[in-house]
Structure 1
Amino acid sequence: MISENQGKYLIGIARKSIIEYLEFRKITSIPPEVSEELLENLGVFVTLNKNNQLRGCIGYIEASNPLIELTIQSAIMAATNDSRFENVTIEELDEIDIEITILTRPKLIKVLESNEYLDKIKIGVDGLIVEKGFNKGVLLPQVPVENNWDVREFLEYTCLKAGLPTSAWLGLDTLIYSFQGQIIKE
C-alpha cells in the first residue's frame, strides 16, 4: 500500500501529532510536501502500546479523507479519547510504541452456511468486521495472532466487540466482512 519510507514518515507524524496535542492542544497540519501516496483515501487505525500492553487504539475502517489526515486524527484520539483507558500523558509518551495499520476496503464474505467462514478467513491476513442491526465490531488482522486465536475464536471475539453474543456469527443475518492491513511499527 505505501512504501517503507512513507510508513516511517507516517509514524513520525503520528508521534508529532500526539505531542503537539498533549502539549499545546494543537492539531498538526498536513505538511505541504506530503507524498501522493499519503493523500490517498485509505482506512487506518493507530494503536498505542506501553510495555507491550494496549494503551489506546482508534481509527477509521473506511476513509473519506486522506490517509495522513486520518492518521493525525486517529493518533490524537487513541491518546486522548479511547474510553477503555485514561488519557496518555506527555510524561509517558517515551514509553509508548506507535503502530499504524493501513486498511484495504472491507469485502463482504459470502457464504451459504456459517461454517464456511472457518475456511474463508485467514489468521494473520484478515481483519474482521461483524455487523448485525446497529451493532458493529472490528478487530485488526494482528489481534488473533497476538492472542493465539483460531478462526472460530476470532469470530467470537469480534462478535463480543460488536456487543453481540459469541455465537452471532452463526446466524446468516449477521454480516461478516474481511479486510487486510499493512502494519507499520516504530
Structure 2
Amino acid sequence: MFKPYNIEEGRFLVKLARAAVEEYLRSGKIIQAPSDTPPKLLKDMYGVFTTIEIFTGRDRRGELRGCIGFPQAVYNTVNGVIRSAIAAAVEDPRFEPMSIEELNKVTFEVSVLSPLELLEPGNPRIYPEKIVVGRHGIVIQKGYYSGLLLPQVPVEYCWDSMTFLNEGCMKAFLPPDCWLDEDTSVLIYEAQIFKEVEPNGEVVERDLMEELRRCRNADKSKG
C-alpha cells in the first residue's frame, strides 16, 4: 500500500493547498514553500492532484469545483501541491475561476500519486482483474488521447473495475470499450489522499476500502 506520509505531513499539504489558493486569489502571487515545510516534502518527487469541492455537509460528497494535477512528478511534493491547487482553483476548463468569496464554502483534498505502472499489453480482457477498486487509479492513453481518473472516483460512484475502465475511456473522449483495443495503454497507480472534512476544518486521511465497503452495503440494503 502506497503511504509515503503521516497525518501531520498530510495536514500540512492540505493547509498549504488552501493557503496557496488564498494568496493567489488575493494578490496573483504563487507562494514559496514555507520555512516550516517538513524536509521530506521538499525532497520527495511524486505526482499530485488537488481537488476542490463545494461543501454540502460532513457526511455528503461535495460538488466538484475544480481538480487539476500532475500524473507524474514534475515538482517536489510541496511545490506540486502549490501549483496544482492554484490550477484547480483558476484553470480547470470546466469551471469559472474561483473567487476569494468562495474559499469558506469549499473543501480541499490532496492526492499524492505513486509512479504509474503500465498493465501488460496483449491481453486486455484481464485488465478488470488487475485493477482493484479502492486501491488503484487509472490512466487511459491512445494516440493523442489521454484520460485520468483518481482512485476515489470509482469508490464515490460504487463502480466495479469494468465500469471504471469504461469511464476512463470516456474521460479520454474515446469509446467506452477502448481499453480492449491493442493500441490502447492502460496504466495504474495508487494514491494517498488527505482532505478537509469541512472548510478550514480537520484534515483526515481517506480510507477508500472502507468507503467502498459502506457504498456496497448501502447498495445491498436498497436492493
1:111 is displaced (CA, Å) by 4.6
1:138 aligned to which of 148, 153, 157: 148
Relative to the length of structure 2, the TM-score reads 0.81
1:125 aligned to which of 129, 132, 135: 135
Residue in 1 that maps onto 2:48 = 44
Write the distance in 2 (CA, Å) between the matches of 1:111 and 1:121: 14
Structure 1 vs Structure 2 CA RMSD:
1.0
Tell me which stretches of 4 or more aligned residues in structure 1 moved more than 4 Å. none
Cα contact 1:111–1:117 (8 A) shared by 2? no
Write the distance in 2 (CA, Å) between the matches of 1:111 and 1:28: 42
Residue in 1 that maps onto 2:19 = 16
Residue in 1 that maps onto 2:81 = 71
Relative to the length of structure 1, the TM-score reads 0.97
SS across alignment from 1:5? helix
The amino acid across from 1:28 in the alignment is I
The amino acid across from 2:63 in the alignment is Q
Write the distance in 2 (CA, Å) between the matches of 1:160 and 1:128: 12
Residue in 2 that maps onto 1:98 = 108
Identity %: 39
The amino acid across from 1:47 in the alignment is T
SS across alignment from 1:19? helix
1:113 is displaced (CA, Å) by 2.0
- Residues 8-42 of structure 1: CA deviation (Å, up to 9, x unaligned): 01111110101000011111111233222212111
Write the distance in 1 (CA, Å) between the matches of 2:83 and 2:121: 35
Unaligned runs of 5+ in 2: 57-61, 197-223
SS across alignment from 2:190? strand
Q: How many residues align?
A: 186
Residue in 1 that maps onto 2:8 = 5
Write the distance in 1 (CA, Å) between the matches of 2:193 and 2:86: 18
1:96 is displaced (CA, Å) by 0.4
